[in-house]
Amino acid sequence: MTTTTRDILVMGLPEAGKTTFIAALWHTVSSKEVDAILQMEYLQPSRDHLNEIAKRWRECVAVQRTIQGKERSVTMNLRTSDGARRFQVTLPDTSGEAFQRIFENRKWAASFEGLVNRSDALMFFVHPNSLVSPVRIDNVVEELVSIADGINVAGVEPPSGMPEQAVHWEASRAAAQSKILDLLQLVVQAKGSRPLKIVIVVSAWDLAENENLQPDNWIEKHAPLVWQFLNAHNKTRPFCVFGVSAQGRDYGNHAEMLRDYIKPSERISVMQGDRRSSDITAPVLWAVE
Ligand SMILES: Nc1nc2c(ncn2[C@@H]2O[C@H](COP(=O)(O)OP(=O)(O)OP(=O)(O)O)[C@@H](O)[C@H]2O)c(=O)[nH]1
Ligand SMILES: [Mg+2]
């Protein structure tokens, strides 16, 4: 049986849940506690980074921010649970700061260019708390006019709660949705006619679940421009949206309860459409097959 080699490009703004996902993924495949659709075939030689982040994950301690310039790339040798297919999957644990810089400066490093060129799939992480739901202008036009008048007309007090002077705009202040869309566009353009599967991971799904939406409807509601872009390119760039709670819950309030799990892999919650499981390898399989 041949082994398929796959490079996954991992992207997402700072604190989007990238490292936590990789930590939970490594715990799942290396512990073999649950019947995940992808399982570890054999151990790769380089495991220090994976073991370090997976240890923190098991102990319910938040992983450290990934520092730009100190990112690590990890490789896992996996096979499907029926043993029919083998994959060697490489994915970089990238720093969200790096993507923030790419958005602001409109350029990326040669090393990142190489990564984009090599990648067969993109996993783009979106933290639910990073997106502010869009508001239709026609619903708030009167309020906007009164705010604008209050700021601009000399001698008129701004409405309470409004700053006396408009804040100077700079690229770093752009809405998260604009940044995500722009980064997606940059990568899709750079791939040209070469194939790229796109997985959108709404991370910390435990924080989004109370809306009772399926992950793709969640993106459609909270990031309509991103949703439009993905659908416009669907034929050449197939995409899938997963809601993934790699921790299970937030550590601040629930660490003790999470530590009680006999099989820590079962803390994880993954949603695709209306199907729920604790199999964090499902989005990876979708990306690589
Ligand atoms: N509630 C909840 N919080 C999560 C989950 N996954 C990650 N987080 C939290 O989200 C924050 C960011 O997670 P990271 O995995 O460090 O995010 P990152 O994308 O690697 O961030 P950078 O390294 O800064 O780019 C941390 O405080 C995590 O504890 C989850 O499933 N549920
Ligand atoms: Mg990180």
pLDDT tens-place string over residues 177-204: 999 999 999 999 999 999 999 999 999 9
* Position with higher pLDDT, 2 vs 149: 2
Q: Closest Cα to atom 11, ligand 1: which residue?
A: 15
**d(C-alpha 132, C-alpha 143), whole Å:** 18
Q: Distance between CA 280 and CA 242 in Å, rounded?
A: 10
Q: What is the pLDDT of residues 70-110, one digit of tens each?
A: 888 999 999 999 999 999 999 999 999 999 999 999 899 89
- For residue 270, name the pLDDT band (cuts at 50, 70, 90): very high
The larger pLDDT score, comparing residue 223 to residue 166, is at: 223
CB-defined site of ligand 1, < 6 Å? 12, 14-20, 62-63, 65-66, 95-96, 125, 203-204, 206-207, 245-247, 249-251
Q: Give 256-266 pLDDT, tens digit per residue.
A: 999 999 999 99
Domains in the chain with CATH codes:
3-132+175-288 (3.40.50.300), 137-174 (no CATH)
Q: Whose CA is nearest to atom 21 of ligand 1?
A: 15
Supply the pTM of this predicted model. 0.92
What pLDDT, on the 0 to 100 scale, is given for residue 159?
A: 59
C-alpha closest to that of 67 among 129, 14, 25: 14
Closest CA to 9 of 89, 117, 91: 91
CA of 206 to the centre of ligand 1 (A): 12
Looking at the DSSP bridge assignments, the partners of residue 276 are: 271
Helix (H) or strand (E) holding 155: none
Predicted confidence at residue 48, as pLDDT, reads: 93
Q: Give the number of the atom of ligand 1 that is nearest the alpha carbon of residue 250.
A: 1
pLDDT (tens digit, 9 = 90+) per residue, 48-60? 999 999 999 999 9
